[in-house]
Amino acid sequence: MPVEEHNLLKENMPGPPLAVAAQSLFLVNLMIAPGIAFLILVALWWHYRDSAPLLARNHLRQTVAASLWGGGLLVGVSVVIFLLGGFDNPWSWVVGVIYFVSFHAMMILFGVIGLNRAMLDRPYRFPVIGPKLLD
């Protein structure tokens, strides 16, 4: 690839950094450093919630809301499964593990889609748990 063409592609790299950072932190929270990445994400949201460009605010808002709702549903439904079935019931473990792994994988998939949308400089709303996009 000629140098001029490579520089042209590099100049057109998609995505505002804050929107990409928000979606990346969402994924890091799910896969690598839960809790720490969430605190950094919330700190970014708190700092930029009113001053960031609209696209970045939307991605920040979506990722914080999805983290809160997703974490609540992940833990809450898992607790209900074990409270109803009991910790000594093997079927509670089967249902609990299947639910946890499936829901967690779905959240990762939606996070990857959100990261892709951020990199393409487009808004994204998490299905079901995401708040309405800002206008």
* Each residue's pLDDT tens digit, 19-63: 999 999 999 999 999 999 999 999 999 999 888 899 999 999 999
**CA–CA distance, 62 with 120 (Å, rounded to integer):** 16
61-75: buried (b, 16+ CB within 10 Å) or exposed (e) per residue?
Answer: bbbbbbbebbbeebe
Model-level pTM? 0.85
pLDDT of residue 24: 96
Q: Distances from the Cα of 19 to the Cαs of 11, 50, 75, 87, in angstroms?
A: 18, 14, 27, 41
pLDDT in tens, 51-108: 889 999 999 999 999 999 999 999 999 999 999 999 999 999 999 999 999 999 999 9
